[in-house]
């Protein structure tokens, strides 16, 4: 068992044995290191001013991802490389080279900064895009920047800088010595359980499910942290003291994604970023919903398991997964059980999780030949917003007749919930006869009594929920969307899907 956190900074290993379980990465950078290039804008992982790049090995290859350092715990950095804006041009190495990084150079030439406060975060976000080694188009850049708010420029010059600099090939000094960095990261991956502190106050990052299970059984009052995109805010906003933290990011078994014939199995530690590609094979709408969860930074650290386990009524993935009839595996000690995901959510803030029990994996069935799927998210802002409501529809069709319906909504009740009566009302409906839809649409009023809050009023939620059902039926009946004059969405148009033509 290791009693220190180790990570790479400026190419060198840093080892710390004094890590408070609640210490954030941003505080470490600014207060301990005195590296003040990275800024705090909101302290809740929403504005991106604190973005830094985290290097880690994915299938043996060095990968850089932007994260919000304000809500990442320092202990979670174990085994990773941390690159901040200071490293690009103000570290000892950068000073020696004297050159600007290509993304910095492009930002400079395109007048991409005004007040400059968001700029370091934007530079780091673009740094990771640069290292993705793809020819970035406008949509990719929009996605990459969704978690970097800029209040001055209106983004155009930043987008131009990204278009110009992120063209597919990384040729910076980080790429040049990627091999050395990879070797060092491999060395840091010692498969040892990490535990800093004492029985009353600790940061732990077990390396196996067994240690995780036994540690959590012993300390059921500990807080399990996967990506900290929620727990981070308990610390920075609620100012809670969380004396016992168990981080699951180093448990290899929980990082697996298994793509079987009829289902996809996702480990609880898999981030949205890593799950997206596989889940996208279920339906393009699944990909679009995941694209719109949080920001690039949030998806790089946040996990589907975490989104479920924290039981948020506004979580975007649960309604989607409930409509897909996903099942959840919960583990306690050496025992595990499997339940339907929808039964996990008992009430607002209450889940079917026993003391010492943790979510280990999620099984997501794929669609059958005669099933179609639609999902929509409604929020005030398209990107990086929490949904006012989210709807997911899975319909089984016999030609143009609906034979089965599985519909789930988020934001319409205290928990993500199925529209039981509406499902029934849909059975037997002919998609070719829109005049027969109205009854089912109105039935939503019997299924839900939504609440009003700062995101939307109860009335709006209900009216939009109906609108989305109409939209789904309309799209499916059309088979093809985006036909001339039949475009049905202002953003996120689906690719034509001939299979669904009725």
In the bound state with another protein, the residue whose beta carbon lies nearer, of 172 and 385, is: 385
Position 458 contacts another protein (CB under 8 A): no
Position 490 contacts another protein (CB under 8 A): yes
Position 354 contacts another protein (CB under 8 A): no
Position 155 contacts another protein (CB under 8 A): yes
Position 100 contacts another protein (CB under 8 A): yes
DSSP-derived secondary structure for 52-91: EEEEEEETTEEEEEEEEGGGSBGGGGTT-EEE-HHHHHTS
Position 104 contacts another protein (CB under 8 A): yes
Selected range binding another protein among 319-327, 392-400, 407-415, 452-460, rule: CB under 8 A: 452-460
Position 91 contacts another protein (CB under 8 A): no
CB of 113 to another protein, least distance (A): 4
Selected range binding another protein among 3-11, 207-215, 333-341, 458-466, rule: CB under 8 A: 458-466
Give the one residue of 78, 81, 143, 371 binding another protein; rule: CB under 8 A. Answer: 143
Selected range binding another protein among 196-204, 282-290, 325-333, 456-464, rule: CB under 8 A: 456-464
Give the one residue of 89, 93, 182, 400 binding another protein; rule: CB under 8 A. Answer: 89
Give the one residue of 14, 42, 280, 367 binding another protein; rule: CB under 8 A. Answer: 42
H or E segment and range at residue 15: strand 12-16
In angstroms, the CA 416 to CA 200 distance is 35
Q: Which of residues 299-318 bind another protein (CB under 8 A)?
A: none
User: Measuring CA to CA, how many Å separate 394 from each of 104, 160, 163, 292, 307?
Assistant: 46, 40, 38, 20, 21
In angstroms, the CA 200 to CA 202 distance is 7
Give the one residue of 38, 165, 312, 375 binding another protein; rule: CB under 8 A. Answer: 38
Position 489 contacts another protein (CB under 8 A): yes
Q: Which of residues 361-390 bind another protein (CB under 8 A)?
A: 376, 378-386, 388
In angstroms, the CA 200 to CA 219 distance is 9
Position 96 contacts another protein (CB under 8 A): no
Residue 423's beta-bridge partner residues?
A: none
Angle at 51 between CA 58 and CA 166, to 5 degrees: 65
What are the tokens at 344?
A: 């996990």
In the bound state with another protein, the residue whose beta carbon lies nearer, of 308 and 456, is: 456
H or E segment and range at residue 277: helix 272-279
Position 32 contacts another protein (CB under 8 A): no
Give the one residue of 487, 496, 499, 501 binding another protein; rule: CB under 8 A. Answer: 487
| Residue 97: CA count within 13 A, CB half-sphere | 13
Q: Which of residues 170-209 bind another protein (CB under 8 A)?
A: none
CB of 171 to another protein, least distance (A): 18
Task: Find, among 148, 69, 86, the residue nearest to 112 by Cα.
Answer: 148
Give the three-state DSSP class for 134: coil
Give the one residue of 81, 86, 263, 283 binding another protein; rule: CB under 8 A. Answer: 86
Position 88 contacts another protein (CB under 8 A): yes
CB of 431 to another protein, least distance (A): 15
| Residue 122: CA count within 13 A, CB half-sphere | 32
Give the one residue of 63, 133, 160, 253 binding another protein; rule: CB under 8 A. Answer: 160
In the bound state with another protein, the residue whose beta carbon lies nearer, of 275 and 464, is: 464
Which residues 6+ apart lie within 8 Å of 177 measured at CB?
Answer: 11
Position 25 contacts another protein (CB under 8 A): no
Give the one residue of 53, 62, 77, 118 binding another protein; rule: CB under 8 A. Answer: 118
Position 116 contacts another protein (CB under 8 A): yes
Count interface residues toward another protein (CB under 8 A).
Answer: 91
In angstroms, the CA 232 to CA 409 distance is 27
In the bound state with another protein, the residue whose beta carbon lies nearer, of 271 and 379, is: 379
Q: What are phi and psi of 397, to 5 degrees?
A: -120, 145
Position 49 contacts another protein (CB under 8 A): yes
Give the three-state DSSP class for 6: strand
Residue 247's beta-bridge partner residues?
A: 225
DSSP-derived secondary structure for 319-384: HHHHHTT-EEEEEETTEEEEEEHHHHEEETTEES--TT-EEEEEEEEPPPTTEEEEEEEE-SSSSS
Q: Which of residues 203-262 bind another protein (CB under 8 A)?
A: 237, 239
In the bound state with another protein, the residue whose beta carbon lies nearer, of 117 and 265, is: 117
Give the three-state DSSP class for 35: coil
Burial bucket for residue 90 (CB in 10 Å: 0-12, 13-18, 19+): middle
Q: Which of residues 415-434 bind another protein (CB under 8 A)?
A: none
Whether 376 and 465 have beta carbons less than 8 Å apart is answered as no
CB of 383 to another protein, least distance (A): 5
């Amino acid at each position: 068992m290791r009693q220190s956190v180790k990570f790479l900074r400026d190419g060198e290993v840093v080892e710390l044995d004094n890590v408070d379980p609640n210490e954030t990465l941003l505080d470490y950078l600014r207060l301990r290191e005195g590296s003040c290039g990275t800024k705090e804008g909101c302290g809740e992982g929403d504005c991106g001013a604190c973005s830094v790049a985290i290097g880690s090995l994915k299938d043996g290859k060095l990968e850089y991802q932007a994260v919000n350092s304000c809500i990442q715990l320092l202990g979670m950095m174990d085994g990773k490389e941390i690159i901040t804006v200071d490293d690009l041009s103000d570290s000892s190495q950068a000073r020696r080279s004297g050159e600007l990084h290509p993304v910095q150079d492009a930002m400079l030439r395109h007048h991409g900064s005004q007040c400059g406060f968001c700029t370091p975060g934007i530079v780091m976000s673009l740094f990771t895009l640069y290292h993705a080694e793809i020819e970035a188009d406008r949509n990719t850049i929009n996605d990459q920047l969704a978690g970097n708010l800029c209040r001055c420029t209106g983004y155009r010059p930043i987008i131009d800088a990204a278009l110009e600099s992120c063209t597919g090939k990384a040729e910076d000094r980080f790429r040049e010595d990627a091999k050395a960095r990879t070797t060092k990261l491999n060395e840091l991956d010692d498969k040892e359980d990490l535990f800093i502190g004492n029985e009353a106050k600790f940061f732990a990052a077990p390396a196996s499910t067994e240690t995780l299970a036994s540690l959590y059984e012993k300390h059921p009052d500990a807080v399990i942290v996967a990506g900290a995109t929620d727990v981070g805010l308990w610390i920075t906003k609620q100012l809670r003291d969380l004396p016992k933290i168990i981080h699951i990011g180093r448990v290899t078994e929980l990082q697996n994604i298994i793509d079987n014939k009829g289902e996809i199995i996702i480990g609880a530690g898999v981030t949205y970023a890593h799950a997206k590609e596989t889940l996208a094979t279920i339906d393009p709408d699944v990909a679009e919903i995941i694209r719109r969860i949080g920001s690039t930074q949030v998806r790089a650290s946040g996990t589907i398991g975490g989104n479920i386990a924290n039981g948020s009524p506004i979580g975007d993935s649960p309604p989607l997964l409930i409509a897909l009839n996903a099942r959840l595996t919960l583990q306690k000690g050496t025992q595990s059980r499997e339940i339907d995901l929808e039964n996990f959510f008992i009430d607002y803030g209450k889940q079917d999780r026993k003391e010492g029990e943790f979510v280990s994996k999620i099984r997501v069935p794929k669609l059958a030949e005669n099933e179609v799927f639609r999902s929509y998210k409604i929020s005030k802002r398209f990107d990086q917003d929490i949904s006012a409501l989210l709807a997911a529809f899975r319909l089984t069709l016999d030609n143009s007749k609906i034979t089965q319906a599985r519909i789930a909504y988020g934001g319409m009740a205290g928990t993500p919930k199925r529209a039981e009566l509406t499902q029934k009302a849909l059975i037997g409906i002919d998609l070719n006869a829109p005049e027969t839809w109205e009854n089912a649409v109105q039935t939503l009023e019997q299924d839900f009594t939504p609440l009003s809050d700062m995101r939307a009023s109860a009335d709006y939620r209900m009216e939009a929920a109906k609108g989305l059902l109409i939209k789904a039926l309309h799209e499916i009946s059309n088979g093809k969307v985006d036909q001339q004059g039949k475009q049905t969405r202002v953003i996120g148009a689906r690719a034509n899907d001939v299979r669904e033509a009725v």
